[in-house]
Amino acid sequence: MTIFVLTENSMHIEKIKKSLGKHYELSFMNSMDKFLELFSGDNNVELDSEECVVVLLEYDLYIQYDIASYFKKDEVVPFSPVLLSDNVGNIDLSNIFDTKTSLMMSLEKITNKELLIQIQLLIHNFYKMQQIQNYAFFDLLTKIGNRRTFMKNLELYFKYYQHNKTTFCLAMIDLDHFKFVNDTFGHLKGDEILAVTANIMQNNCRKTDMIARVGGEEFAIIFPQTELKQAYDVLERIRLCVEQTTEVDEAVRVTLSAGLVSVREDYKEYKDLISSVDLLLYKAKDLGRNRICM
């Protein structure tokens, strides 16, 4: 874990080294502009999903910047700030960034041990907040986006298309006869199949493709900047992999049906794509399942 320290105060630097240096990797910086360049805009630093970044920030620096303005609306700020101050006492400064929690502490009044405990408590709370965000935006079983995330992304892609005519495709995917699988082999096997299916989708899609579980055994994929034939080829690979996999159990085989559409000018809103692709999914089911209709 990295702790960035933004301060020019030599006394603060020495105290932080003594209290935190044995426990965390410290990176000292004296420029807010350089630090924010790491986390905002096109230069946004990529962090491991398990990594937590804490910033020890001199209070005088903080009040000179509107830090939240560096980030897009509803964007998750990838670090948690702790404000350092020479003021007496500890002040709770929650909601500086959305629901992030921050602390302001007087380094002249706090011992090295107390500082370490406060930082560890902040990190614990930061991880808890990340867990809550995961519950809100990700499907916990398959580790992909949930319906809420899918709908939000589809709306954004549609608005972008309206302004820039950047094409994208939408697929709705349903596992065939999944109720029979659950009833015959049990729900635990069914859960394993859902997780394996999601993994197959991730392995065959690009990082830029948005994959979500939108219902019990129903998935959706948004293919940005993709023509219909390209998206179809990816879906066909996924269909064959699902049909052939024995990863869960040799006796447990499933297939999938899918509908696929490309955005068009006659769609008035993003929900029109969902209606259109749903009809194609039903058509794939009516034609015998285990196929893609586009």
Contact 252, 185 (CB under 8 A): yes
CA–CA gap between residue 114 and residue 119 (Å, rounded): 9
* Max CA pair span of the chain: 75
Catalytic residue of the set 217, 218, 227, 269? 217
Those residues whose C-beta lies under 8 Å from the C-beta of residue 192, and which sit 6 or more positions away, are 248
**Secondary structure (3-state) at 24:** coil
Give the whole-number percent of the chain exceeding pLDDT 70: 71
Report residue 20 as tokens: 């935190």
CA–CA gap between residue 240 and residue 288 (Å, rounded): 16
Listed range (27-41, 169-183, 244-258) with the worst mean pLDDT = 27-41
**Alpha helices for the chain (secondary structure H):** 10-20, 32-39, 59-62, 112-137, 147-164, 178-185, 187-204, 228-244, 270-286
Contact 183, 198 (CB under 8 A): no
CA–CA gap between residue 251 and residue 101 (Å, rounded): 50
State the angle between helix axes of 228-244 and 187-204 in degrees (0 to 180), rounded to the nearest 10: 140
Which of these CATH numbers, 3.30.70.360, 3.40.1350.10, 3.40.640.10, 3.30.70.270, describes 147-293? 3.30.70.270
Whether 218 is a known active-site residue: answer: no
Enumerate the β-bridge partners of residue 270: none
**What per-residue confidence (pLDDT) applies to 72?**
56
Those residues whose C-beta lies under 8 Å from the C-beta of residue 83, and which sit 6 or more positions away, are 57, 58, 59, 62, 93, 102, 103, 104, 105
Q: What is the pLDDT of residues 49-99, one digit of tens each?
A: 445 556 776 666 666 766 656 655 555 555 666 666 654 433 333 333 444
pTM for this prediction: 0.62
**What per-residue confidence (pLDDT) applies to 97?**
41
The closest of 177, 148, 199 to 254, measured between CA atoms, is 177
Domain boundaries, the chain: 2-135, 147-293
Q: Indicate the burial class of 24 (C-beta count within 10 angstroms; 0-12, 13-18, 19 or more).
A: middle
**What per-residue confidence (pLDDT) applies to 74?**
52
Considering the domain 2-135 in this protein, what is its CATH number? Answer: 3.40.50.2300
Q: What is the pLDDT of residues 106-163, one digit of tens each?
A: 666 677 787 777 777 766 666 666 677 667 888 989 999 999 999 999 999 999 899 8
